[in-house]
Structure 1
Amino acid sequence: MQPWVCQRPRSGVYTFSMPASAAPRPVILDGDPGHDDAINILLAHAAPELEVLGVSTTYGNVGLERTTRNALVTLELIGSSTPVYPGADRPLLVPRLSAESVHGQTGLDGPLLPAPSRAAEHLHAALFMVQAIRERPHQVTLLPTGPLTNVALALRLAPDIAPLIREIVWMGGSLDVGNWTPAAEFNALCDPHAAAIVFGSGVRVTMFGLNATHQAIATPERIAPFRALGRTGEVVAGLLEFFAEHHRERYGWNGGPLHDPLTSAYLIAPQLFEVQPMYVTVDTTDGPSAGRTNCDQWHVTGQQPNANVAMTVDADGFYALLTERMAQL
């Protein structure tokens, strides 16, 4: 697949164009919607170079029942019939965490959203992943934006799929500090054992950790253009404004970081990002470093890199892409 060509003229205005010969890249969105997960679902559906095979859900920001409903609500907003597959409702070994303090009791607090008109599928998310990957070997990219439990379960249930997965682009972890503990980012801490399975699987992994996502702050100036884009744009603006409140209170930032949509944006316009190959392990101990993603940036371990770690984000380009895509929904 050829990516969008992104150009930034001296005027500072980004333009994106897709080569006529480009073919859609099959993806599975796996997450715990969540404000930024919902926006990632919208972005992926607005990208003609991505073919969304399904949306799978897990616990995380809120419980599985609510994340599944939130996925259906988000798809209802744009009239999409993409199937939704509920998955794990808890981590492999550790107690379940939840983030209502960030996302509200529903997980999508803020704007008024439509009720879903259909139900989720009966097939478990992990089994759906196995089925889709076997049907399209070396083609499917997984975009998990929550705990990695569903992906780990799929790899354990069907080890044969590991070499058949094209890539895993995960929003989680951090090159430096955490956001749920001093050491750990929320998605990694939710299920460090699942994350360890994924990083040890041999699958090509690209990690968008906090060190990268915190560069993409949704300031009021970046939110404002969405309001001119109709109903979907108004919802995106409302989600971003609610999400900003927590980050203003905790960090003093002028907005919230838009973590999860960076995964889809990376597939659409990889030139907006810099990634660096590293050897990554996950701390699965019970101590204060539980859930930490240990990234060997300077290759001091002598281990071969098992992941690409996102380092820089062209935030202006990312928001230009996001605004342009939302205008097409």
Structure 2
Amino acid sequence: MAPMKVIFDTDPGVDDAMALALLARSADVELLGVCTVFGNGTLDTTTRNALYLAELLSLRCGVHRGAAAPLDGGPVHPPVEVHGRNALGDVPLPPHPARAESGIAASDCLVQALRRHPGEVSVLAVGPLTNLALALRAAPDVAALAREVVVMGGAFGHHGHTGNVTPHAEANIYADPQAADEVFAAAWPVSIVGLDVTHQVVMDGAYLRALREHGGGLGRFLWDISRVYQAFHHDTGVPDGFYVHDSTAVARLLVPGLFGTLRAPVLVDREGATRGRTRLAGPGEGTGRPVQTVCREVDAAALLDFYNRRMRAGEGESS
């Protein structure tokens, strides 16, 4: 079977780096491009991090600079307390990336790839959805060309999981709710991997130490960059380890059978006290909107085993 063609839209970010490592260690994935967006850092920071990770992971695809701010032009406030000042846990990084940017804007990369491979490309978006919205605005026809779009973002209140930046909103959606609403309203098949499932998956201290000890150089790197990230989670109610956000979205793409889902039109509150809230359309709402897929259950143990096996496979073990 041919590898799955994937574009990774990302704002690296500790959890983004862990997700990109999982993609890089997956022989069933052909990465067509890494697109950057503001979020866990400024666009300059996230693009620098993506270039560094592309070199570290020996990726063959290009890195494409994307949106520096939300569609409404509002301010960007990187969560340095979560990911560190350099958004990769403040580990030392080379002053200048060994790789150069592609010179193709992220939204153009998305449009070109979808048109070049109709029905074959999966878009995996784990940051604010601004690049995807810009691609739709420039070329609305590409929605019909996507194999699927998997989004890490949102929270629907299942199992008591609501927002993580406000009582209502998850960070990626809150960063650009207008873009998210436009993406969920488009006629492409979207799977939403929100806090409802990512908060069910925790990499604890023992798991992370095993990853460091048995995952080779990459495992040690992931341990190093996640020290700030784990400390933040400890201070905010996770006594041992951290939630697995972006890698859970990768798992949804590669092993969808691990998830229980529901289907409904999805709306995003664009302003006011509930800005960034994702919700299922109620009676009389969502007219004309496509039905999208929302994840609400996950086999956390199987997901963690999947991640572990893929990381060890890169060190000579079978996946």
Normalization by structure 1: what TM-score? Answer: 0.88
Residue 30 of structure 1 deviates from its aligned partner by 0.2
Residue 95 of structure 1 deviates from its aligned partner by 2.8
User: Out of 234, 237, 242, which is 2:220 matched to?
Assistant: 234
**Which deviates more from structure 2 when the two are superposed, residues 221-230 or residues 55-64?**
221-230
* Residue aligning to 1:103: 83
Residue 276 of structure 1 deviates from its aligned partner by 1.3
5 Å-filtered alignment, 1:80-99, equals 80-93=59-72, 94-99=74-79
Separation (CA, whole Å) in 1 of partners of 2:114 and 2:210: 38
Kept in 2: contact 1:110–1:238 (CA 8 A): no
Kept in 2: contact 1:56–1:125 (CA 8 A): yes
Counterpart AA for 2:199: H
Superposed CA RMSD in Å reads: 1.7
Residue 112 of structure 1 deviates from its aligned partner by 4.8
* Residue aligning to 2:24: 45
User: Out of 153, 169, 187, which is 1:184 matched to?
Assistant: 169
Structure 2: which 5+ runs fail to align? 315-319
* Residue aligning to 2:33: 54
Separation (CA, whole Å) in 2 of partners of 1:274 and 1:111: 37
Kept in 2: contact 1:47–1:325 (CA 8 A): yes
Structure-2 change in CA distance of 1:181 and 1:81 (3 Å): same
Kept in 2: contact 1:192–1:290 (CA 8 A): yes
Separation (CA, whole Å) in 2 of partners of 1:284 and 1:229: 42
CA deviation map 1:109-132 (0-9, x unaligned): 154556631111111000011011
Separation (CA, whole Å) in 2 of partners of 1:278 and 1:97: 32
Residue 267 of structure 1 deviates from its aligned partner by 2.0
Separation (CA, whole Å) in 1 of partners of 2:200 and 2:224: 21
State yes or no: 1:217 paired with 2:202. Answer: yes
Separation (CA, whole Å) in 1 of partners of 2:125 and 2:57: 21
User: Out of 97, 103, 120, which is 1:122 matched to?
Assistant: 103
Equivalenced residues, count: 305
* Residue aligning to 2:317: none
State yes or no: 1:291 paired with 2:276. Answer: yes
Separation (CA, whole Å) in 2 of partners of 1:70 and 1:252: 26
CA deviation map 1:191-249 (0-9, x unaligned): 00000110111111100111110111111122122122210011122233331111110
SS at match of 2:313: coil
* Residue aligning to 2:291: 306
User: Out of 257, 263, 269, which is 1:271 matched to?
Assistant: 257
* Residue aligning to 1:26: 5
Residue 182 of structure 1 deviates from its aligned partner by 0.8
State yes or no: 1:203 paired with 2:188. Answer: yes
Kept in 2: contact 1:208–1:310 (CA 8 A): yes
Residue 288 of structure 1 deviates from its aligned partner by 0.9
* Residue aligning to 1:262: 248
Kept in 2: contact 1:33–1:70 (CA 8 A): yes
5 Å-filtered alignment, 1:9-20, equals none
Structure 1: which 5+ runs fail to align? 1-21
Separation (CA, whole Å) in 2 of partners of 1:268 and 1:252: 27
SS at match of 1:318: helix
Identical aligned pairs, as a percentage?
38
Q: Which runs of 4+ in 1 moved over 6 A?
A: none
Kept in 2: contact 1:67–1:107 (CA 8 A): yes
Normalization by structure 2: what TM-score? Answer: 0.91
* Residue aligning to 1:282: 268
